[in-house]
Structure 1
């Protein structure tokens, strides 16, 4: 589609630097899903129940704030834009809080719980203050749905690079230290610095093209009303929540499954997570290629990829524990299929915002971006809580973390295989009701471009 004067082509450099913002965000996501559960139970010595309650309470409290942060971002007026200034303001607190979570001071049992709650809440709050505006920024960079998908085709490999860095280097770097506590302290300080730098690179190398004047100021209640009336946004949020439950369960339980069921060392876990991270990098490229070449349409890809991943995940349940290499390949294959939808889901945040603008004549990109982050964190909260509660139900004790009793082994299969497979089937069912296919998004985009053009002309007095 031809670009108008109001929407010049976005350079590869800007797309790349925008993607680095998601690399930073996914360092938090990767550390949370891959290592935080086993860190809290086996290193920091929280009980599984305390850990599960922490994930559930902290994430839900934080998730409620995401739409409010989006509302504030929508109302921001700055020479730097609506959303970019937030990256500058909160990059440093985000990096510092990332390091603080893993500092692991010597405290009593009650002190450890308090410290975990305070630092984890600080992390998820600072994460929201960066990522909600970051997600909304995509809609302000371009009104072209196809271009947004191509931006995400670059962004998501860079986002998954964070998982690769976490899975490949974090266990090896921690192992260099005399004990895990010192290892986590040093490695996470470095990760905090890296996270801050990546956010700042994104800030300094992107720009907003959709003028703020095209976003009418409306009240909080009115914004929430329009959000709840946007049926396609609600479908998107529901699908994302279930996806994140699945990811948190699967990746959070992977360390336990490898350690106790497969009875393999941490090096095998690192290999498995690294291979899955590579699959996560490849998947967005595959999605971009399939869509550009017209091999498959958006909505069938959303549905069928999740069904395929569900079937592969179920196959792991019937694979003997002694077949460690088939387990690795099934895990990687299931991850690849599941990740094919990530590009479309996150590009659709801007699409459903345009759809709401098309229906109601108001633009609430920040509120919808906050809603997507709400769904992401709510899913992670439920998934993290399930990990803790199911481990506690089966009697798992972190003080006896060198071995698991035979009656505890089913817990790891439930968390790693059966519940993720159910989530994948549910995601496919939800996405069957999503209607913003190529033609519909093209119609919505044309309306958004027309409105943007009129707003820009009015701004210049034309």
Structure 2
């Protein structure tokens, strides 16, 4: 067995490619889909918000089922890796369909949006839950896993940069004056790239942590162990509010850049301004993910996580009071938000793996897929509520698509959704960390005990 073998750089890069593939579509959803639905596709902001929230109802059933099925999947390639191949092509096709504008009336277009968006998120679930579970079984050593997560978010952030810089320019280039066609063709390009990344991830990774076989397993027992895992519950709450912060800010970004910064709706500089502003944060995420590994060697993960979120809260409050036309101040602040938000992501995802280890240590049953599926449900629920808040708030505050100037109330709402809303989510994350107890010392004990159990099992066999 090679449970203790250190991961190679190629394996870490391959692991990161999986999240990059997921991120190509996830980034397009968080950065552009709300804007696409309101300003290109032709739906009202309120309808979009309700759709984002309504389609998440199914996740409460689908996500845990996916996790449990993944835990029980047995192939020569492992439990989780095959899912990346099985759903790669459907994932790319559905991304194109979601950004396709059919020649229907308003009700028909709304129904089409519901169906395609729901199917896209379903396929995302079938890939992302097994992929995230893979991060918990590629290595037993916590530091090695954290290093892999740092590679993951560096590479995923680079793919996000590609999306943020390239999307709007590709839309203009491929669609010319037809923005609807431009978005459709752009997502076709992104989909092909995503397929290649998923194949690379499958080919270069390996599942090393094999759970001790338990013949007395059942869905009821798995769910009882999961809900009885107090550390998993804390991490799920952290995942929810982290997703809320990131998606709320990303969904409001294009509105902020389009209507409140220089350029305007019809300006030739509009595309460049919007791409530059979105990309500023994404560049920050790349550098933040790279910095995570450096700081992890010098500070405890728990203290670092708390300090980062407190810093993000302060930056969000400051940015709320800075006029959007003060570009020399706005751009650095937005860069810092991307930098610090990305810096804590490897720690958050490593917390998920730690919570799975803790559950195995506490209950003697490892359900990695179910554990990560619960966290992914919390992430998508936060994503849906944040998207719904943006759409509903804009609708209530009088937002109008395509006008040259928004009302003062709508303007204040856009600024608040970009700054104050995410800031208070970061404050809640800082507070929640007082209940997380899986520090380095505790994890060393857990890993030692689990390794001893595995060795005893092997000797008995």
**1:175 touches 1:183 (CA, 8 Å); kept in 2?**
yes
Where does residue 116 of structure 2 map in the other structure? 119
**1:214 touches 1:452 (CA, 8 Å); kept in 2?**
no
Deviation at 1:215, TM superposition (A): 5.8
Where does residue 450 of structure 2 map in the other structure? 448
Greater Cα shift, 371-380 or 408-417: 408-417
CA separation of 1:370 and 1:215: change in aligned 2, threshold 3 A:
farther
CA separation of 1:208 and 1:457: change in aligned 2, threshold 3 A:
farther
Question: Could you tell me how far apart the structure 2 residues matched to 1:402 and 1:218 are?
Answer: 61
Deviation at 1:320, TM superposition (A): 2.1
Where does residue 37 of structure 1 map in the other structure? 34
- The aligned runs of 1:210-289 (5 Å cut-off) are 210-214=209-213, 218-264=217-263, 265-289=270-294
Where does residue 420 of structure 1 map in the other structure? 422
Where does residue 150 of structure 2 map in the other structure? 153
**1:249 touches 1:384 (CA, 8 Å); kept in 2?**
yes
CA separation of 1:215 and 1:202: change in aligned 2, threshold 3 A:
farther
TM-score, with structure 2 as normaliser:
0.95
Where does residue 193 of structure 1 map in the other structure? 192
Where does residue 19 of structure 1 map in the other structure? 16
1:356 and 2:355 correspond: no
Question: Could you tell me how far apart the structure 2 residues matched to 1:39 and 1:82 are?
Answer: 37
Question: Could you tell me how far apart the structure 1 residues matched to 2:31 and 2:215 are?
Answer: 41
Equivalent residue in structure 1 for 2:311, among 301, 308, 311 = 308
Where does residue 53 of structure 1 map in the other structure? 50
1:391 and 2:394 correspond: yes
**Once the two structures are superposed, what CA deviation does each residue of 1:45-98 show, in whole Å capped at 9, x if it has no partner?**
111121011100112323542121011100111111111111121111111111
- The aligned runs of 1:5-16 (5 Å cut-off) are 5-16=2-13
Question: Could you tell me how far apart the structure 2 residues matched to 1:401 and 1:67 are?
Answer: 43
Question: Could you tell me how far apart the structure 2 residues matched to 1:133 and 1:192 are?
Answer: 19
Where does residue 434 of structure 1 map in the other structure? 436
**1:6 touches 1:453 (CA, 8 Å); kept in 2?**
no
Question: Could you tell me how far apart the structure 1 residues matched to 2:404 and 2:189 are?
Answer: 29
1:327 and 2:330 correspond: yes
CA separation of 1:423 and 1:5: change in aligned 2, threshold 3 A:
closer
Give the unaligned 5+ runs of structure 1.
Answer: none
**1:56 touches 1:382 (CA, 8 Å); kept in 2?**
yes
Question: Could you tell me how far apart the structure 1 residues matched to 2:211 and 2:427 are?
Answer: 40
1:375 and 2:378 correspond: yes
Equivalent residue in structure 1 for 2:101, among 85, 104, 121 = 104
Question: Could you tell me how far apart the structure 1 residues matched to 2:107 and 2:305 are?
Answer: 45
Equivalenced residue count is 453
CA separation of 1:352 and 1:215: change in aligned 2, threshold 3 A:
farther
TM-score, with structure 1 as normaliser:
0.95
Deviation at 1:407, TM superposition (A): 3.1
CA separation of 1:214 and 1:161: change in aligned 2, threshold 3 A:
farther
Where does residue 66 of structure 1 map in the other structure? 63
CA separation of 1:384 and 1:237: change in aligned 2, threshold 3 A:
same
**1:214 touches 1:455 (CA, 8 Å); kept in 2?**
no
Where does residue 266 of structure 2 map in the other structure? none
**2:320 touches 2:416 (CA, 8 Å); kept in 1?**
no
